[in-house]
Every structure is written in C-alpha cells, then in structure tokens.
Amino acid sequence: MKITELKSLRDCDHATYKKLLLNNQEKILAQKKEENIFISALAVQALEQKIEAQREMSPAEYPLVGIPFAVKDNIDVRGFETTAACPAFAYTPQRSAFVVQLLEAAGAICIGKTNMDQFATGLVGTRSPYGTTKNYFNPHYIPGGSSSGSASAVTAGYVPFSLGTDTAGSGRIPAAFQSLVGIKPTKGVLSTTGLVAACRSLDCISIFATDLQDAGTVLQLTSRYDKEDVYSRKKPPCVYEGGSKIAVPLDSNLKFFGNRAYEEAYRNLLERMRQCGYHIQEIDFTPMVEAATLLYNGPWVAERYHAVGEFIQQHPDKVFL
C-alpha cells in the first residue's frame, strides 16, 4: 500500500475506496489481539463517518485526503488514549500532537494507536504488556523496537505510512528489521509537542513508509516550526530531493560478531547499490558510537529516568519489566 496508489483509487471511485478502507479496518479489529500491532483502533462506523465527511474535499487543497495512517502510542491523538504501553499511565489528550495536527489538516485519517516497548525503552518490540507485535516481513523474527507496532502496521499493508519515535534507534531499527524506510529527522525538524518524553533533548518523531517518495511526502508536510517546542527549528520545510550518495562506516568500524552470513549480506548490498549507480562514501563512525555510549552510560541515562522515574517509583507493580 502506497500513498500514490490510494490517491489514484480515491479519485476514480469513492465507494470502492471507502469499502477498501472499511474492510481494512475490519481486518485490523478482528486480528488486533493476535497481531498485537494496535493498542487501540477506530471503530468501523467511526472511520466511515470520517471518510464520508471528506467526500467533497479536494486533493489539491488536502494532499493526503482520506489517506489512513497509524501513530505510536506515546504520541497524542485526539480521540484516543495515550498509554505509552502502560495502562496505568494512560491519559486522554485534549488535542493531537503538533505533527499529527499537520497530517490531519492535510486530510490524513489516524486509524489507530500502535504497540511499542513500554515508555519507548527497548529496541526489540517485545517489552509490552500488550504482547509482542507480529513481524509481517518475517514472522519468525522479532519486530524491532521501540516503535514495533508502527513498523508492522506499514509492513502488514494496513497503512501507507505511520509515525514512531526515535531516541536511540527506536524508529530506524524496526524499519530495518521489517524492510521499510525509516526516517529519523534531525532534532527540531519535526515538533515533539504532544510526545511522551523518553529523553527530551534527544527524542524525535520518526516516519515509516514503504518507499522514499512516501516518506519524503510526509516529512515535507510535517516539518513546520512549532513555537511550543523549544527545539523546533525556524527553517523552510524539508523537501526530499533524492540523491545518489550513501554514507557507510569504515571497514575498521564494522563489527559482525562472527556472523559471516550477515557480513556477506552487507557486502552484497553495497555491491548492488554500486551497480544501481549510487556513490558509496565511507565515513568514520567512531564519533557516533561515542555519542551512543553517552546515551546508555552517561548523563542521558539520568534524563531518561527523570522522564518516567516518579511514575515508576509510585507504581512499581504497574511497570512491565
């Protein structure tokens, strides 16, 4: 499922388009407990009302009119609870997060909130009281986290794009595990107003899609200045213009831990990219590794604990370990 495909279908036949989305939502609700992708999802009747309310909306004015998307459940969406995968923590927001508001203003419809590693702490997608999210790319593999449900919702074909978060890899890792495009924008490009903090000075809202064109479309529509976010950047909207240069770590930076099959797959990928015309440029990855070390063994550990530490102290039996 891609944005362009859905837009074309909607333009041709509204009734067929509505039936497709409603059938899709019925499937989500029917398989919700088996797949553990969604924590909450719109009722079919509620989705039908939203689609009908958009019948006369022009794609020229609303570029994502009628396009369904999913949102990680640590990002506020009006009409849904925000749980951060912790039922005892749940609250009902009065408004959607800034980025969600921009997507809704463009006509997109949030069809549900997705599963995640609790409080966005974890990179595996298995640390949730709502169960482990199904990996549709390979059901024998874990989905990756912490934005597991947002990745799986796209891989399963329920939505053409979704929102996750990325502090230490929570968006890029499940994207890699499920053969998706995962974008972690530079801090401040996308507002984090309406996001449950994990490590506020590093948190970013991330984007999942099946291809760069869709991911770029979403990034362009959501990269707006937000006066309520102290990290938000006063800059022109992001525009994805494509490119043919790809940065990879120096060979001396690479660690495969004895997994020769993985190393061979990596080498083959680089060769395929060269054959496709991409220029591969090696960079020293050491400074990035050192920065990551600070996140797990430095001052940012305290910031992460500050985000939910008081709740954990007051509700130790409600936290998923």
Residue-level pLDDT at 242: 63
Burial class (CB in 10 A: 0-12, 13-18, 19+), 116: buried
- Select which of 7, 18, 40, 72 is catalytic: 72
pTM for this model (two decimals): 0.94
Under DSSP, the state recorded for 237 is: P
Q: Is 245 a catalytic residue?
A: no
Residue-level pLDDT at 9: 87
pLDDT per residue rounded down to tens, the chain (321 residues): 899 999 888 877 889 999 999 999 999 999 999 999 999 999 999 999 999 999 889 888 999 999 999 999 999 999 999 999 999 999 999 999 999 999 999 999 999 999 999 999 999 999 999 999 999 999 999 999 999 999 999 999 999 999 999 999 999 999 999 999 999 999 999 999 999 999 999 999 999 999 999 999 999 999 999 999 999 998 766 666 666 889 999 999 999 999 999 999 999 999 999 999 999 999 999 999 998 888 888 888 888 888 999 999 999 998 986
Task: At 229, give phi and psi (nearest 5°).
Answer: -105, 115
**Residue whose C-alpha is closest to residue 73's, from 117, 103, 106, 32:** 117
- How far apart CA 147 and CA 121 sit, in angstroms, is 10
- How far apart CA 95 and CA 249 sit, in angstroms, is 42
Q: Is 146 a catalytic residue?
A: yes
**Residue whose C-alpha is closest to residue 173's, from 197, 142, 198:** 142
Task: At 80, give phi and psi (nearest 5°).
Answer: -125, 150
Q: Is 170 a catalytic residue?
A: yes
- How far apart CA 188 and CA 260 sit, in angstroms, is 38
What are the helix (H) ranges across 36-114?
A: 44-53, 98-105
Residue-level pLDDT at 291: 86
Residue-level pLDDT at 90: 97
- Select which of 148, 152, 170, 191 is catalytic: 170
Residue-level pLDDT at 121: 92
Tokens representing residue 30 in the block: 């029917």
